[in-house]
Structure 1
Amino acid sequence: MIFKRFALLSIGIIASILTAEAQQKSYIQSLDEPNAWVDSVFNKMSRRQKIAQLFFVRAHTNKGAAYADSVGKLIRKERIGGIVFFQGGPGRQAELSNRYQKLSRVPLLVASDGEWGLGMRLDSTISYPYQMTLGAVQDNQLLYQMGRQVAADFKRVGMQMNFAPDADINNNPKNPIINYRSFGENKYNVAEKAGAYMKGMQDGGLLVTLKHFPGHGDTDVDSHYDLPQLKFSKARLDSLELFPFERLIQEGAAGIMVAHMNIPALDPTPNLPSTLSRPIVTGLLKQGMSFKGLVVTDAMEMKGVVKNYKDGEADVLAVIAGNDIIELSENSERAVRLVRKAVREERIPIEQIDSSVKKILYAKYWAGLNRQDTVSTTGVYADVNRPESKMLIKKLAESSITVLNSSSPIKALSPQKRTVILSIGTSGITTFQRELGTFYKNAVYFTLDKNAGAAAVAKISRELDRFEQVIIGIHDTRTRPGNGMVLSADLKTLIKNQAARQSIFALFANPYNLSGLPGIEKSKSLIVAYQKEDFMQQAAAAVLSNKVIATGKLPVTVSPSFPYGAGM
């Protein structure tokens, strides 16, 4: 082993991670310093081993022993630079990370997508609000605190790098892949929110990766399935899409992930993804924007990149373009072989490979991998479900709640009056109803499924007329809160009619869905709660019970009635 084992990570160290001063030097700052460990490891590598350091492969803990074994064999044989964990559980991942580190002669850099924390990939873990929800929060210090908590969680299960935050500006409501993963449409708000989250993670000792450079927010094609094209001018890209990346580079971002998009204004090569473009990766990002950190490709198995560049040529072109980390090649063994061949043929200077490898080794050193390869597998669940994390989620949720259509902050309705609380879009009694029921003691609950027909809607409509106060929750029960929430035509008519009668509404869905609910702008008050999770329903109920004053602002423009920045 090149590195020494360290004492098992415990809950005591978790506490110290959260309370200690921020790391004295950032990863970017560390690149300028001599490093004996980096030099020692680098000088022992063959050319093939150096090239292998550029490749990060997929790992899971929910696919059984045979799959886990196959990844282990690849690590031992290919001597790759890192792994990217996807679905599984925290305890299993901690155990498997330890196992994989023991198989690797050079410590692995372990990463995952954690835009909203470990819960984006792992079961039994904390999920913070989506970035669209956080875009409504006015106190950016809360996002910094979230970054510190996420850093502690990642390190607790043996990870050193988060492929987050998303710095895309979502100014296309039809965007099928970014959307709720963005902080919103305003470049200043996106930069500030992404910066606060980024700094929290980096101060907590976690490497970050801003994505998806040079900006994936104004597309209507999902690069997982095809190659999007940005047809905007260079001036437009400079003034909008590139703004958050440029600002956060200046603030010390450790890493940037490049998207699979064709951008003629930056590289006129037909059907060439930005990931494979040297003018974009090296010319614009590294030279033009002076980015010194890690440049990471988006997943190289995505159709947006391999559709037109097959049989490993995409991997070679990604290295030629100037990427330091090639994430999820379709075949890493083949890719290493082809890159070696490209170096021999002088398509890729060996000096470029050396530069990327040293940046990767510096990242491993900065993250502490020169001295640690074991994490405790005891008490993992409790350590990544800390009370302080849950309290922060509550605070973030309450701070995001946005009140529209009110001339003054929401005041609690009379708890003594006969009140009906209707949940639309779900067949069961909701957390929102139960929470409100503790305040409105004289309340009745009704529910209408998203496909409710004329007869069911008419029956409920007659019931609503009997009550003095009507509160209606609209719930999107899909896993991810995108556009296109499905509600029957009869339900939309009910919403329109009740809005005209001055009912109060709460939307537990992506705010873009308001554009598909004509007439809701006439409601007495409209609470936007952004997503379906219980913590958002509890926060909305707290506002309607006069326990919390809503301070959130819409992070996107939905319609002329609901513009960006609206909210009490």
Structure 2
Amino acid sequence: MNKRKWVSAVLAGVLVLSAIPGFKSETASAETIDVQTIVTNMSIDEKVGQMLMPDFRNWKKADESKATGFTVMNDEVASIIKKYHLGGVILFAENVVETEQTVRLVDGLQQASPEIPLFMTIDQEGGIVTRLQTGTNLPGNMALGATRSEKYAYQTGEIIGSELSSLGINVNFGPAVDVNNNPGNPVIGVRSFSSNPELVSKLGIQTIKGLQSQNMAATTKHFPGHGDTAVDSHYGLPLVSHDKERLRAVELVPFQKAIDAGVDMMMTAHVQFPAFDDTTYISKKDGQEIMVPATLSKKVITGLLREEMGFDGVVATDALNMKAIADNFGQEDAVVLALKSGVDIALMPAQVNSLQMEENLSSVFNAVKAAIENGELPMEQVDQSVERILELKVKRGIFKPSEEVDQTPIDEKVENAVKVVGNKDHLKKEKEMAEDAVTLLKNEDKTLPFKPKKDETILVLAPFADQVESMTRTINELADKRKMKNVTVTGYSFSGKSFNDEVAGLIDEADYIITGSYVVKNDPAVNDGVIDDSIQDSSKWATAFPRAVMKDAQTKDKEFVLMSLRNPYDAANFEEAKAVLAVYGFKGYSNGRYRQPNIPAGIQTIFGESRPKGKLPVDIPSVTNPNQVLYQFGYGLDIRTGKQLN
């Protein structure tokens, strides 16, 4: 019996059952399709395909000279989806450039898999990790942590879910529920709600519920936790050395609560957790002995996540092309080890951006088949994984009986998506969230709000041009709204630069100075407990330049405010400033749109158009005295009274 016939036979049997009085049938319920029977009738090739999820971020056709963003469906990609019976595809910014284009691309991808629809997945976390180039970006998780608002978290999930769903995307790889308790973390930072596991849990669960309210499959990541790392697993292999008790009390808490709340999927972390598994392998990179990362650990995925924590949903790896995995384990071995560990989906198992590179996917596919055939990867385990995958596809309305399949014409889908993605209501809500998240850390001498008078000059400095543009544009919009006459706004981007006479001259001419600080990981030069401002080498520009601006402005008695644009920990570099605020987002204005609402929200606060309500979701340690906390979790000032918010 061919695949089309056995799928139809199973669905027909279910339809007969649904006609029986008292038979319980729910939309998007695993009871509507006999998944076990389908899996029993699948070939090994079909099962392996469901467990592989590549990306087609870029594509080079046979007649093209180089790979470019894959935005329009073609027969070459369709042939790969069909040949390998793929279960899903992950999309990136290169794929989702415009709303109509995205709807048509996603529809085209699904057309290539007519029997069992694809998981169409994306990393749309909100904040600094967003892919949709026309969507609502939202202020991000740490901004939500600053608001303490479960309502905003739910709305975030709801907005993301509705926009993705309108495009035909059915799985979001979010929210991140990592507990960011390492100020030096180079990859999580503002992607985390907080350093407090209870706050992370509350906001994470509400985001999950918001996503699921739009029938979007929600994913928590990066299990068992990427928050206390000092290495980015895109580039190296991080280690979390805490004991089991500490991990259960902090890192694992949000994951357990998400499991209890019914999260659909879990994404693994390429991080070593020796407390749960200290098994070693020989690195293919340098021949050194290394501990197994969670992604490849049966003790972590099966023992901890499945058996101890009780998760029976779908587990996907983080991208297997990340250097933490690819460099140390190799392409084929990494995929087989991940699936052996108990993972259901190997994400980005091989790079394929042309038919000439198809052999990469073929090699991985055949390695998994060989592992099944020689008993290294038990068929029973494979069947369980495929059942979980198909059950989730049924639950979220992705895989339906033929009578229920959406027959909406593509033009109607496009029309609906255009109304949903980035609409005015969503933009209004993200603006409100971002403004309530702004956290005022210092406001000595009532420096804020700024109240420029006629013919005064405002100098804006930030690392990157898009950030400067976001600030200057927002100020000019405010000037038009409030009819501030002849106020001049000057902008300067300083990435990689040293303080010079030109900047000193701009400060001379300015009445008000706004400086944005963008520091991923604090690394100022500190001598004898004092930041050494004499060091102006290029590696220190991120702290040295804005500190030089602050010092010069204060010497000249200019009104100065420091706006922390990314991880709020960098506020500790500016203890001497009279006014400091954190906005938790660094994306500026480019391609005709604000890429995040955070910078405009900060500007609104600086000029008194909104009242900051944010309270720190993390501790900010002192730079000059690292063992001391400069600003505590929960700290935030009322701009009117100067007192701490309740």
Alignment TM-score > 0.5, same fold: yes
Which residue of the other structure, out of 491, 501, 511, is the alignment partner of 1:447? 491
Match of 2:506 in 1: 460
| 1:141 CA displacement | 0.3
Which residue of the other structure, out of 608, 611, 624, is the alignment partner of 1:549? 611
1:388 matched to 2:425 = yes
Match of 1:49 in 2: 46
- Preserved contact between residue 144 and residue 152 of structure 2 (Cα < 8 Å): no
| 1:68 CA displacement | 4.6
3-state DSSP of counterpart to 2:39: helix
1:333 matched to 2:367 = no
Distance 1:367 1:43 in 2: 22
| 1:408 CA displacement | 11
| 1:499 CA displacement | 5.4
**Aligned 1:342-381 pairs, distance under 5 A:** 342-369=371-398, 370=400, 371-372=404-405, 376-377=410-411, 378-379=414-415, 380-381=417-418
**Aligned 1:261-410 pairs, distance under 5 A:** 261-270=271-280, 271=290, 272-330=292-350, 331-369=360-398, 370=400, 371-372=404-405, 376-377=410-411, 378-379=414-415, 380-406=417-443
Residues 348 and 505 (structure 1), Cα distance of their counterparts in 2 relative to 1, 3 Å cut: same
Post-superposition CA distance 1:136-177 (Å, at most 9, x none): 122220120121111111111111100101111112222222
| 1:516 CA displacement | 6.2
Match of 2:598 in 1: 536
Residues 179 and 403 (structure 1), Cα distance of their counterparts in 2 relative to 1, 3 Å cut: same
Distance 1:67 1:349 in 2: 36
Matched residue pairs, number? 536
Residues 298 and 65 (structure 1), Cα distance of their counterparts in 2 relative to 1, 3 Å cut: closer
1:437 matched to 2:492 = no
| 1:214 CA displacement | 0.4
Report the AA paired with residue 85 of structure 1.
L
Q: Once superposed, what is the RMSD of the aligned Cα atoms?
A: 3.2
Match of 2:573 in 1: 517
Post-superposition CA distance 1:90-112 (Å, at most 9, x none): 32232122222222131111111
Distance 1:366 1:63 in 2: 32
Residues 35 and 554 (structure 1), Cα distance of their counterparts in 2 relative to 1, 3 Å cut: same
Distance 2:571 2:608 in 1: 28
| 1:335 CA displacement | 3.0
3-state DSSP of counterpart to 1:391: helix
3-state DSSP of counterpart to 2:146: coil
3-state DSSP of counterpart to 2:328: coil
- Preserved contact between residue 452 and residue 488 of structure 1 (Cα < 8 Å): no
Unaligned runs of 5+ in 1: 5-23
Distance 1:56 1:327 in 2: 5
3-state DSSP of counterpart to 1:204: coil
3-state DSSP of counterpart to 2:267: strand
Match of 1:564 in 2: 633
Report the AA paired with residue 106 of structure 2.
S
Segment of structure 1 superposing worse, 332-341 or 202-211? 332-341
Residues 79 and 490 (structure 1), Cα distance of their counterparts in 2 relative to 1, 3 Å cut: closer
Distance 1:374 1:187 in 2: 44
- Preserved contact between residue 189 and residue 567 of structure 2 (Cα < 8 Å): no
Distance 1:362 1:280 in 2: 23
3-state DSSP of counterpart to 2:316: strand
3-state DSSP of counterpart to 1:76: helix
Post-superposition CA distance 1:50-83 (Å, at most 9, x none): 2221111213375358995433111111111111
So what's the TM-score if we normalise by structure 2?
A: 0.76
Match of 1:496 in 2: 551
Unaligned runs of 5+ in 2: 10-24, 59-67, 281-289, 351-359, 524-539, 589-593, 622-628, 638-646
Post-superposition CA distance 1:297-345 (Å, at most 9, x none): 1112222123232251211111111111111112443333223322232
Match of 1:76 in 2: 82
3-state DSSP of counterpart to 1:561: strand
| 1:211 CA displacement | 0.5
Match of 1:218 in 2: 228
Segment of structure 1 superposing worse, 533-542 or 351-360? 533-542
Distance 2:394 2:124 in 1: 22
Distance 2:251 2:431 in 1: 31
Match of 1:163 in 2: 173
Distance 1:493 1:408 in 2: 21
Match of 1:140 in 2: 150
Segment of structure 1 superposing worse, 260-269 or 40-49? 40-49
3-state DSSP of counterpart to 1:324: coil
Residues 306 and 208 (structure 1), Cα distance of their counterparts in 2 relative to 1, 3 Å cut: same
Segment of structure 1 superposing worse, 297-306 or 115-124? 115-124
3-state DSSP of counterpart to 1:59: coil
Post-superposition CA distance 1:447-466 (Å, at most 9, x none): 343136331233234334xx
Report the AA paired with residue 504 of structure 2.
A
- Preserved contact between residue 572 and residue 630 of structure 2 (Cα < 8 Å): no
| 1:236 CA displacement | 1.7
Share of identical aligned residues, percent? 29
Match of 1:194 in 2: 204
- Preserved contact between residue 177 and residue 222 of structure 1 (Cα < 8 Å): yes
- Preserved contact between residue 49 and residue 79 of structure 1 (Cα < 8 Å): yes
1:102 matched to 2:111 = yes
3-state DSSP of counterpart to 1:517: helix
Residues 192 and 149 (structure 1), Cα distance of their counterparts in 2 relative to 1, 3 Å cut: same
| 1:404 CA displacement | 1.5
